Structure 1
Amino acid sequence: MRSRCLVVSLVSPSYRTLTFAGAILGVALCAVSGPRALAEGTFAITSSSFKSGGNVETPQVFNQDDCKGGNRSPQLTWHDAPSGTRSFAVTMFDQDAPGRGWWHWAVAGIPATVSSLPENASSSGFLTKLGAVEARNDFDTDGYGGPCPPPGKPHRYIVTVYALGTSDLRLAQGRPALMFDHEIGTAALGSARIEVNYRR
């Protein structure tokens, strides 16, 4: 969004030198008072666990049957959330799973004052202490369930942080991740994501 400023001459046009100085002063004042949006960055996330476009490592892989991982939710940090953000939500979705895809994680109710989650926030109790709630994933367990696709082609996993315009979606712990996704979508002001890959 471009700033719109009106520079007004401070003296009569017959005094050209002073008028030019006045115009310069006007431009300076315009720059100082321009919209805050010009100084804001883009809502984005980073992770020490995941590299965008990279492969999921063992600590974040599911730990069941043929999948032998740590099942630790990833570390996430976000910045430059949209103005008016009152809480955050996080989801992790496998878009390459057969059918409608596969929900690995959905959490809502992260306070607006929080800008990062440590690794293993899901099972360590960190999210509970924040007052956040986690959905039931498609493994039929509450909280984070790491990648564990069938052997073959790699699957793409989308980790998304949402900035929400409400602090209470009225979601209960253990409700289906699909329900979380719907409610998150109705309140989202913006989102940022990382895409990672995993194959067996």
Structure 2
Amino acid sequence: MRTNMKVSTLLPIMAAFIGISASAMEISSQDIKEGQLMGKTFEFSGMGCNGSNLSPQLSWTKIPPGTKSFAITAYDPDAPTGSGWWHWTVLNIPVSTLSLPQGASGKASPGLETRTDFGKPGFGGACPPKGDGMHRYQFTVWALPKAKIDLPADISPAVVGYTLNSMVIEKAVLTATYVR
């Protein structure tokens, strides 16, 4: 005998799945917008670039259960390196912190800033090669199950990325662009 599941039985199940995706963690910024060009304020100062090199304001909401800390990364997958370019890595941001002000890197950052592909800790702004076209800058907030990740400040950004991906509860990404 064949049994047909009624639509009324499926609706609560479908609603549960929709509810999960509707409550996904979100990242926003007063300074940068999804898919939009960043201002020169967020351009690197050096290597042929002459911006203000300020980290953008970032906020995040809809924190998943089990979160004990956050990390933030900024990554350019379009850098002509074969492996992208890490512009910012911040670990051990307390779970009570739900935003960072503009220019937080180096002075107001509540977490551990680790080495970027510029060779030192702290935010390194956009600096794509002239004529290389538009680059994407992925600002990601990571919800993590540990209050502290025990990595040194001089760790490679690839190891930071690997570590975050191995334990992330949930993440949210804001992708801005830049071109020179």
Q: TM-score, normalised by structure 2?
A: 0.85
Distance in structure 1 (CA, Å) of the matches to 2:164 and 2:62: 19
Please list every run of 5 or more consecutive structure 2 residues that lacks an aligned counterpart in the other structure. 1-9
Shift of 1:2: 7.0
1:110 equivalenced with 2:90 (yes/no)? no
Equivalent pairs counted in the alignment come to: 164
Identify the residue that residue 73 of structure 1 maps to in structure 2. Answer: 55
Moved over 3 A (4+): 1-4
Pairwise CA RMSD of aligned residues? 1.9
Identify the residue that residue 24 of structure 1 maps to in structure 2. Answer: none
Whose Rg is larger? 1
Distance in structure 2 (CA, Å) of the matches to 1:102 and 1:65: 14
**Within-5 A mapping of 1:14-29:** none
Distance in structure 2 (CA, Å) of the matches to 1:162 and 1:78: 10
Identify the match of residue 56 of structure 1 among 38, 44, 52.
38
Distance in structure 2 (CA, Å) of the matches to 1:150 and 1:65: 9
Identify the match of residue 101 of structure 1 among 84, 94, 103.
84
Q: Which has the higher helix share?
A: 1
The 8 Å contact of residues 136 and 174 in structure 1, kept in 2 or not, is answered as yes
Kindly provide the amino acid, as one letter, of the partner of residue 167 in structure 1.
A
Distance in structure 1 (CA, Å) of the matches to 2:104 and 2:39: 17
Identify the residue that residue 125 of structure 2 maps to in structure 1. Answer: 146
The 8 Å contact of residues 45 and 194 in structure 1, kept in 2 or not, is answered as yes
Kindly provide the amino acid, as one letter, of the partner of residue 120 in structure 2.
T
Please list every run of 5 or more consecutive structure 1 residues that lacks an aligned counterpart in the other structure. 5-33
1:137 equivalenced with 2:124 (yes/no)? no
User: Whose relative contact order is higher, 1 or 2, with alpha carbons under 8 Å and at least 6 apart?
Assistant: 2
**Helix, strand or coil at the partner of 2:66:** coil
